[in-house]
């Protein structure tokens, strides 16, 4: 389905993926860049502010994962490994052999799993506020997850979901699946992280949920990695809906830095 908004023309569709009807949007032309949203999010709540910039030079494929936004649920818990397999299948269905990947927050952890499980489809990866180890966030985070309730979910994310979801009752399902996945989160083994050969750009905010120490350790473990610590909160550097501030300027987004990384010739 082709759609034109006031801002940007795009195509959207659904693909049969491992028992899901997976929703995706395609913007622009050029080398594919896959955008993978954060937990409890939609394409728009994570990436709406930066898609127009990336789409000037690239073919953007933005996805919504199991139980999120317009994508259906399956009778199974969420896992980052399954999300990675779902995206790999989507790209196969779209006849995309290889792509760059930009995952934010939970999407960054999914991007790590794509690089681990499906290295043949990966060129470069951007890991935005990605978590690989439980000690990568403060202890309060895990206490919060144990007691997670829908009423405590950021209002902006609830609204973003209801704007696009075919059934607003799915909000509780999405929340519960995301909370359970994080409560059960286990460290990605060091040997799997070290086996990643794809060039990686790791980005966090200096007031992020993910700690600088975790990002530095990830930078050390991935052989061909770079690290950028940007002033701001969790996702503020891409204009994510819950942390963007009034009056934020386009020049404060990290798009030029990411484009420079993606355009650089791989040694």
Quickly state the pLDDT bin for 23 (edges 50, 70, 90): very high
The model's pLDDT over 115-124, given as tens digits with 9 standing for 90+, comes to: 999 999 999 9
The model's pLDDT over 219-267, given as tens digits with 9 standing for 90+, comes to: 999 999 999 999 999 999 999 999 999 889 988 999 999 999 999 986 5
The model's pLDDT over 132-191, given as tens digits with 9 standing for 90+, comes to: 999 999 999 999 999 999 999 999 999 999 999 999 889 999 999 999 999 999 999 999
Residue 199 has pLDDT above 90, yes or no: yes
Contacts from 157-160 at CB under 8 Å and sequence distance 24+? 157/40, 157/41, 157/45, 157/241, 157/242, 160/41, 160/42, 160/44, 160/45, 160/69, 160/241
Average pLDDT (13-25) is 98
Quickly state the pLDDT bin for 7 (edges 50, 70, 90): low
Mean pLDDT (the chain) is: 95
Quickly state the pLDDT bin for 208 (edges 50, 70, 90): very high
pLDDT at position 39: 97
pLDDT at position 2: 52
pLDDT at position 6: 54
**Residue 61 neighbours by CB under 8 Å, 6+ apart:** 24, 25, 26, 32, 33, 34, 35, 90, 91, 94, 96, 99
Quickly state the pLDDT bin for 200 (edges 50, 70, 90): very high
Residue carrying structure tokens 């759609």:
3
pLDDT at position 8: 86
Percent of the chain with pLDDT over 70: 97
Residue carrying structure tokens 């934010």:
104
Domains in the chain, CATH or no CATH each: 2-262 (3.40.50.1820)
**97 phi/psi in degrees, rounded to 5:** -80, -35
pLDDT at position 77: 97
Quickly state the pLDDT bin for 1 (edges 50, 70, 90): low
Provide the β-strand partners of residue 201: 126, 226
The pTM assigned to this predicted structure is 0.96
Q: Where are the beta strands (DSSP E) in 94-224?
A: 99-104, 122-128, 200-205
pLDDT at position 240: 97
Residue 82 has pLDDT above 80, yes or no: yes
DSSP secondary structure letter of residue 56: T
Q: Is 160 exposed, middle or buried (0-12, 13-18, 19+ CB in 10 A)?
A: buried
DSSP secondary structure letter of residue 236: G
Quickly state the pLDDT bin for 3 (edges 50, 70, 90): low
């Amino acid at each position: 389905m082709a759609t034109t908004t006031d801002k940007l023309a795009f195509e959207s569709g659904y693909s049969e993926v491992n028992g899901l009807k997976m929703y995706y949007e395609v913007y622009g032309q050029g080398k594919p860049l896959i955008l993978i949203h954060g937990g409890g999010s939609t394409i728009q709540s994570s990436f709406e502010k930066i898609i127009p910039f990336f789409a000037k030079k690239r073919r953007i494929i933005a996805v919504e994962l199991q139980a999120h936004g317009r994508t259906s649920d399956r009778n199974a818990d969420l896992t980052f490994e399954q999300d990675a397999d779902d995206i790999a299948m989507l790209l196969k269905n779209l006849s995309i052999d290889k792509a760059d990947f930009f995952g934010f927050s939970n999407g960054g952890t999914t991007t790590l799993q794509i690089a681990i499980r499906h290295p043949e489809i990966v060129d470069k990866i951007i890991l935005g506020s990605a978590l690989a180890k439980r000690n990568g966030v403060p202890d309060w985070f895990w206490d919060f997850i144990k007691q997670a309730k829908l009423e405590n979910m950021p209002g902006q994310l609830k609204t973003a979901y209801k704007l696009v979801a075919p059934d607003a009752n799915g909000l509780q399902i999405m929340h519960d699946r995301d909370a359970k996945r994080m409560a059960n989160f286990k460290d990605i083994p060091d040997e799997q992280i070290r086996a990643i050969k794809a060039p990686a750009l790791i980005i966090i905010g200096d007031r992020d949920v993910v700690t600088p120490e975790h990002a530095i350790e990830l930078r050390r473990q991935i052989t061909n990695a770079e690290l950028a610590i940007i002033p701001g909160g969790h996702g503020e550097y891409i204009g994510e809906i819950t942390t963007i501030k009034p009056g934020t300027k386009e020049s404060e987004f990290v798009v030029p830095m990411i484009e420079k990384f993606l355009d650089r010739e791989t040694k």
